[in-house]
């Protein structure tokens, strides 16, 4: 296999705000054999290339992969017309026997493993640069860039193991993926934890928005992933330790407005531990793979100041009733975007066009007001960032870990509720924390599904879910055809 790494031709990939890049460059591929490793001033390029891939349709910015991640919880319905992407209905209903040939399932596997392989190649390149470093500062920076890439690789494995369970572990590109054996889920989580240990030791103790290129991952980003990974395997000592370190740093806080947090003001805020960044710069569009449009209103907006979307991943009636029963206001307005209504910014959604009612409501967390779109652009969500790891999740995991350890979790729990304009509770229980998570994180990254699975509540809550069978998608048939070891 000839290996390539994504690099930056004439500048760096990261930017300083939702609409203001720091030296944004076009992306390209460069054969690793052609790199001059003696130019240690270019040492960030391999890491920058991984950031480029992470936010692309071959990374975490893929709408099709996101559909498979998000669709299985009871907070979300498949959405769109019944016939559109019908295999997502099979995913939602746990009819996995129908999914082996689903193009999106295979694309998700390929995209995440391509991220792994590119990360492996970037690490080789960083090793080569390190041979020519001459100062302690250069060597420290090289270790930091290694850690940034290893975080991305660990994050890719985090989603691979969540989606597929036992999977191949490929840590160098001498290994041929098509001949690889499966590694147990437990060993994949051990690998993730080992990678995080390296990352924590070699990344700065800063917020991402304090980094030289705003949005770079930091020690606290790695700790947030540690908390999430260990919650999956019910290691609550590890969750408590990681979340305590983030909270006790005093560096993070919830954005003041839940509603505005998911729009431009919340980009690169002190709540964000990791986000995918996009913008329009001098007329050049740097956008996700239709991630926002995928979840945007099918019927569009009056006046066409904002383009319509595809109408997938709509908030479920069950959760609409739950939000209302709890008296949610800010989180209800933010999460539910109803056809035929006018937003607080004055954008009017067109009425429902389907008598079946499947385009009645949409995921409001993806809505970007027309006043915040790039000048002259109407594409739904264009220029917004995709939030992946946020402080509210850390606080609720901390509350859960404390309660599971026999401690009081009220303080972190109520910090989340206060921002949402909900009254404080005392002596909160595990069930209250899990419900709070389902409201706070509704429609985000499949968190409701994974919470139900790790707590043993999926069977009996999710229609069609069978414990021991429905936790993981099947390996795509195309991958089994290439490697029978994956059966």
Same domain, 285 and 374: yes
In this structure, is residue 133 part of a structural domain? yes
Same domain, 211 and 283: no
Give residue 17's pLDDT band: very low, low, confident or very high (50, 70, 90): very low
State yes or no: pLDDT of 176 exceeds 60. yes
| Contact criterion met (CB below 8 Å) for 220 and 207 | yes
Q: Which of 343, 358, 384 is the C-terminal boundary of a domain?
A: 384
Same domain, 98 and 175: yes
298: containing domain: 279-384
Q: Which of 384, 400, 415 is the C-terminal boundary of a domain?
A: 384
In this structure, is residue 403 part of a structural domain? yes
> H or E stretch including 30?
strand 27-31
> Alpha-carbon distance 475 to 487, whole Å?
7
In this structure, is residue 341 part of a structural domain? yes
> Alpha-carbon distance 180 to 355, whole Å?
50
| Structure confidence by residue, pLDDT tens digits, 40-94 | 999 999 999 999 999 998 899 999 999 999 999 999 999 999 999 999 999 999 9
User: How many residues make up the chain in this entry?
Assistant: 487
State yes or no: pLDDT of 20 exceeds 50. no
Q: Which of 384, 414, 448 is the C-terminal boundary of a domain?
A: 384
Q: Mutual orientation of helices 391-404 and 236-248 as an angle, nearest 10°?
A: 130
Same domain, 116 and 246: no
> Alpha-carbon distance 130 to 385, whole Å?
33
pTM to 2 decimal places = 0.94
| Domain count for the chain | 3
Helices (H) and strands (E) in the chain, counts: 17, 12
Same domain, 108 and 247: no
Task: Give DSSP secondary structure letters for 198-238.
Answer: HHHHHS-SS-GGGSSSTT---HHHHHHHHHHHHHHTT-HHH
Ranking 56-65, 187-196, 341-350, 415-424 by mean pLDDT, the lowest is 56-65
């Amino acid at each position: 296999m000839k290996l390539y790494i994504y690099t930056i031709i004439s500048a760096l990939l990261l930017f300083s705000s939702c609409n203001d890049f720091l030296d944004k460059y076009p992306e390209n591929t460069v054969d690793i054999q052609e790199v001059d490793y003696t130019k240690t001033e270019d040492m960030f390029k391999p890491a920058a290339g991984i950031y480029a891939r992470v936010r692309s349709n071959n990374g975490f910015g893929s709408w099709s992969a996101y559909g498979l991640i998000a669709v299985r919880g009871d907070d979300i319905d498949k959405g769109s017309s019944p016939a559109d992407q019908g295999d997502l209905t099979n995913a939602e209903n746990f009819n996995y026997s129908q999914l082996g040939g689903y193009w999106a399932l295979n694309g998700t596997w390929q995209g995440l493993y391509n991220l792994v392989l590119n990360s492996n190649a970037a690490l080789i390149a960083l090793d080569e640069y390190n041979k020519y470093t001459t100062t302690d500062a250069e060597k420290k920076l090289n270790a930091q860039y290694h850690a940034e890439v290893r975080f991305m690789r660990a994050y890719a494995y985090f989603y691979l193991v969540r989606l597929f369970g036992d999977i191949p572990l490929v840590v160098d590109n001498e290994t041929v993926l098509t001949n690889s054996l499966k590694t147990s889920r437990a060993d994949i989580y051990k690998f993730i934890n080992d990678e995080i240990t390296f990352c924590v030791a070699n990344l700065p103790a800063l917020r991402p928005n304090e980094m030289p290129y705003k949005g770079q991952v930091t020690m606290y980003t790695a700790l947030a992933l540690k908390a999430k990974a260990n919650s999956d395997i019910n290691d609550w000592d590890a969750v408590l330790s990681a979340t305590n370190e983030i909270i006790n740093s005093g560096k993070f806080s919830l954005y003041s407005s839940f509603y505005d947090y998911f729009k431009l003001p919340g980009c690169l805020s002190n709540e964000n531990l990791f986000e995918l960044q996009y913008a329009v710069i001098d007329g050049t569009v740097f956008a996700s793979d239709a991630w926002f449009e995928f979840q945007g209103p099918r019927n569009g907006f009056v006046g066409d100041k904002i383009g319509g979307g595809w109408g997938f991943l709509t908030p479920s009636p069950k959760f609409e009733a739950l939000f209302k029963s709890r008296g949610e206001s800010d989180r209800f307005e933010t999460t539910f975007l109803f056809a035929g209504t006018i937003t607080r910014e004055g954008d009017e959604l067109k009425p429902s066009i389907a008598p079946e009612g499947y385009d009645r409501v949409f995921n409001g967390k993806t809505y970007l007001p027309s006043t915040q779109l790039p000048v002259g652009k109407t594409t739904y969500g264009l220029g917004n960032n995709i939030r992946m790891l946020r402080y509210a999740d850390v606080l609720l995991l901390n509350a859960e870990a404390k309660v599971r350890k026999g401690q009081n979790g009220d303080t972190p729990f109520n910090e989340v509720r206060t921002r949402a304009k909900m009254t404080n509770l005392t002596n909160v229980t595990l069930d209250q924390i899990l419900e709070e998570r389902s409201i706070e994180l509704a429609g985000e990254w499949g968190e409701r599904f994974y919470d139900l699975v790790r707590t043993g509540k999926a069977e009996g809550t999710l229609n069609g879910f069978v414990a021991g069978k429905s936790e993981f998608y099947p390996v795509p048939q195309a991958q089994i055809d290439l490697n029978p070891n994956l059966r």
